[in-house]
Amino acid sequence: MKKRLVSILLSTAMVAAALSGCGGSGETATTTETKTETKADTAATDATATTDAAASADGAYAGELEIMHYSTSEESQGNGGSDGFRTVLAEWDEAHPDITLTQNVLANAEYKTQIATLAAAGDLPDVFLLQGMNTIEWAKQGLILDLTETIKASPYYADYNTAYFTPFTADDKIYGYPCLTGGTCTVVIYDKQMWKDAGYDAFPSTWDEVEKAAEYFNGQGITTVAFGNGGKWQANSCFLSTLGNRYTGPEWFSSMISKGGASFEDPEFVKALAETQRLFTQTEIFNPDYNAVTNEDAREYYISGDAAAFIGGNWDESYIAATLQESDPEKWANIGFAVLPQPADATVAPDSQNIGLGYAVAINAKLADDPAKLEAAIDLAEYITGPAFSSFVAQNYALGGLTKVADVDLSGFDQITQDFYNWSYVDTTTCEIYDSYINSAVWDILNTDLQDLMNGDKTPEEVAANAQVAYEANY
Amino acid sequence: MLKTIKPKGWVIFLYLLVPVAAFVFTVFVPLITAFVYSFFEWKGGPNKTFIGLDNYMTLIQDEVFWQSFGHNIYLVVACILGQIGIAFVLVMVINSKLVKFKTIHRTFGFFPSTIAAVCIGLIWNMIYHYQYGIINWFLEKIGRPDLAKVWLNEPDLVMLLVSIPLIWQYIGYYMVIIMSAIASIDTEVFESAEIDGANAFQRAVYIVLPLIKNTMLVCITLCIAGNMKAFDNIYVMTKGGPGTSSMVMAMYGYQISFSQSNMGYGSCISVAIFVLSLIVIGGSQGLLKRIMREKEG
């Protein structure tokens, strides 16, 4: 009998172990993808080896080159930056048959974890995407190559939008080629028809007016503005980063970056926190579950018509536009874009939005020992951030990259794409994306506290003080 | 065992070598390296600075960590009562003569524990959902929409709400274990108890429980060990939020290590989780054994 019990216990344990294995299947899938992509690349290389031999004459390096990025094939559906990145990467791979390009592709969230782990192990891939806020620390640790001179010598240097290099600069040295597309992190997407019905020709420019409109919309059982902060980072990237600038102005954040004496406890920043708290706890503008749902959930409220507006980033815009174009062309034609409304006691930059390139193509410092390989890596980095990429995204998606594209012909695009292009790059002023700078420890602590702040469980002063302690300890 | 079919010593050694090596490599090596790293300041690069006990001093004063530890203990208590308690009651019900289709009950009872925790988290996210969730829908239907809440955004309720899916998921798991233990009890014992006029409750408490107490002890140990390292479904449901209201130790360690790139302090937290888990498991076993001995004595 005892044996039977033991055997049953053991088999249960085995089943449990086998099942818990299921949880890890996501990772296995990623590895498989990596493997298949490598295989496909090799196949592509083989196929072009004979035809494209001339192209390889310039690159002396022959062998393996490893790149890690997060433009997965799923991500590239409808996302111009990812699509462009994959396209130019494939072009480069084809043009260099002697080089076996190994791509390790993960979804963004996994990418961030994995690249942090590899950095900690000192085992970064040859070429990878560097997030702005890691630049200073990784440069200090000697993980990433100083590319200042290389970038200045780049054939495309004259076309570079040099402002985009700032997040990837430490001690006046540049550590990466900003990549993917420059998109806003804070845009108000609203339904023109619904707001017209409420008596507004355009989305209000002040929160006071939004509050008044909320009375109307709540009467209709509609959420005025949908927002999702369930992932904790959204309130920072897609709200506070722009709202803060309206109070502090850009000098404050520059001073924070350069440790020039500014502090999270400066009264202007605390005011921005207080206003955030007021808007979320004392008005009825937002969906009540803003802290429990993610931006992906919240944008569905907008798409389904349960909300009259939505605040999110350019990635939400591309999803909403693509979804509505297919499912509800009439609602799609009514999409309007606006900047975050101005708080009553804020004084700076009422039409600002935070925009930038969050990642840059960086090169492992170890490649300095292998000049031929380094040359290939630089060539790759220049190509995938250069005019080939910018032209592709400009022509296909009306988006901008690192290099300026002269006279983007917008006429071929639909109205919404044109509107968003003009809103993003022409009609608004810009400010910095907070979490492209400083470091992850500070933002992680602030983001956690922001959730409490927006629930009314922590005061603006407490949140500011905690962030300042983290800032002083980690930056 | 018969001498002729008993394998030679070196054969047994070879057979064992592979799993033992795998175990050492995946459990002991990381444990020891984490212990070593916990004495370093290691912020996301190859550079490490030895800082002695600084990480541990920080840990002692880290309110969020101790709050997380409290949440783990909450989970342990809730799950021992919920998972093992409800599993025991259900087993007694299923074993009664009035219940038909015993195998079906057993299969369906076990079913939730075969689902990945991430899926369970997503399912319950929908149940708790403010706009589309079944709870708020039900409250509206019975005319009490005023009771509707953003369930997972209530700091005071959130721990209870995240433990419910956890309890629900593993009831079947403990049911199977307890059932197998009861199956090994001689049926004559029950028959004679019945003849003596013991009712179902008395049979459960005075006959079944004492006879399967060793199995129950195993269940409780499994339950504590499982909940001290709780992570996945809470991560899916709340990411530890709102704020840190549903943060557990493993998630905090993960957040420190990977979101904040502080591997040294993250290692220190891992070591603390290991030590605290050992203390809780050891303590609870000692306590239970003492209670049982007192009962017998």
A292-330 pLDDT, tens per residue? 999 999 999 999 999 999 999 998 998 899 899 999 999
Q: Please report, rounded to a whole number, the percentage of residues in chain A having pLDDT higher than 70.
A: 88
Query: pLDDT of A76-110, one tens digit each?
Result: 877 888 999 999 999 999 999 999 999 999 988 88
- 3-state DSSP assignment of residue A229: coil
User: For B169-187, what is the mean pLDDT?
Assistant: 91
Instruction: Say how far apart CA A36 and CA A43 lie, in whole Å.
Output: 10
Q: Which of A8-17, A58-67, A189-198 has the lowest mean pLDDT?
A: A8-17
For the record, the structure tokens of A236 come out as: 């920072």
Domain spanning B71-248: CATH 1.10.3720.10: yes
Cβ-proximal residues to A72 (8 Å cutoff; 6+ apart), any chain = A33, A82, A105, A106, A107
Instruction: Say how far apart CA A399 and CA A389 lie, in whole Å.
Output: 10
H/E stretch holding A366 reads: none
Note the helical H segments in B41-101. 54-61, 63-79, 86-95
Instruction: Say how far apart CA B151 and CA B160 lie, in whole Å.
Output: 10
User: For A34-38, what is the mean pLDDT?
Assistant: 39
In the block, residue with structure tokens 């809780």: B280
Beta bridge partners of A362: A128
Write b or e for each residue in A241-258: b if 16 or more Cβ atoms lie within 10 A of its Cβ, otherwise e: bbbbbbbbbeebbeebbe
User: Is it the case that residue A12 has pLDDT exceeding 60?
Assistant: no
Instruction: Say how far apart CA A33 and CA A52 lie, in whole Å.
Output: 26
Angle in degrees, CA A294, A186, B254, rounded to 5: 45
Note the helical H segments in chain B. 9-23, 29-37, 54-61, 63-79, 86-95, 102-110, 117-128, 134-141, 158-183, 187-195, 200-202, 209-211, 213-228, 232-237, 249-254, 263-296
- Residue B87 pLDDT: 94
- 3-state DSSP assignment of residue A65: strand
Cβ–Cβ gap B242/A455 under 8 Å: yes
For the record, the structure tokens of A12 come out as: 């249960």
Instruction: Say how far apart CA A135 and CA A129 lie, in whole Å.
Output: 11
Instruction: Give how far A447 is from chain B: nearest CA, Å.
Output: 8
| pTM: predicted TM-score of the whole model, two decimal places | 0.83
Nearest to A288 among B42, B150, B173 (CB): B150
Q: How many CB pairs under 8 A join A and B?
A: 129
- Residue B297 pLDDT: 55
Dihedral of the CA atoms B213, A9, B277, B77 (nearest 10)?
A: -50
Query: pLDDT of A341-381, one tens digit each?
Result: 999 999 999 999 999 888 999 999 999 999 999 999 999 99
Task: Give the best residue of B260, B263, B265, B270 to mutate against chain A (max A CB count within 10 A).
Answer: B260
Cβ–Cβ gap B258/A116 under 8 Å: yes
Phi, psi torsion values for B96, nearest 5 degrees: -70, 155
User: Which residues from chain A sit within 8 angstroms of residue B46, using beta carbons?
Assistant: 120-122, 141-143
User: Is it the case that residue A232 has pLDDT exceeding 70?
Assistant: yes
Cβ–Cβ gap B239/A138 under 8 Å: no
Phi, psi torsion values for A99, nearest 5 degrees: -105, 125
In the block, residue with structure tokens 């990480």: B55
User: For B26-33, what is the mean pLDDT?
Assistant: 92
Q: Are A101 and A67 in contact (CB under 8 A)?
A: yes
Side chain identity at residue B242, one-letter code? P
User: For A24-31, what is the mean pLDDT?
Assistant: 35
Q: Which of A229-238, A343-352, B93-102 has the lowest mean pLDDT?
A: B93-102
Pick the closest to residue B243 from A232, A264, A290 (CA basis): A232
DSSP 8-state secondary structure symbol assigned to residue A76: T
Closest residue in chain A to residue B265, using alpha carbons only? A441
In the block, residue with structure tokens 């049953």: A8
User: Is it the case that residue A43 has pLDDT exceeding 60?
Assistant: no
Q: Is the peptide bond before B242 cis (omega within 30 degrees of 0)?
A: yes
DSSP 8-state secondary structure symbol assigned to residue B51: -
User: Is it the case that residue A55 has pLDDT exceeding 60?
Assistant: no
User: For A169-198, what is the mean pLDDT?
Assistant: 93
Give yes or no for A205 touching B (CB within 8 A).
no
Residues 450-469 of A with CB under 8 A from B: 451-452, 455, 457-458
Chain B residues bordering chain A (beta-carbon distance below 8 Å):
42-47, 113-114, 116-118, 128-131, 150-153, 155, 173, 176-177, 180-181, 183-184, 215, 218, 232, 238-244, 255, 258-263
Phi, psi torsion values for B257, nearest 5 degrees: -70, -45
Band (pLDDT 50/70/90 cuts) for residue A428 is very high
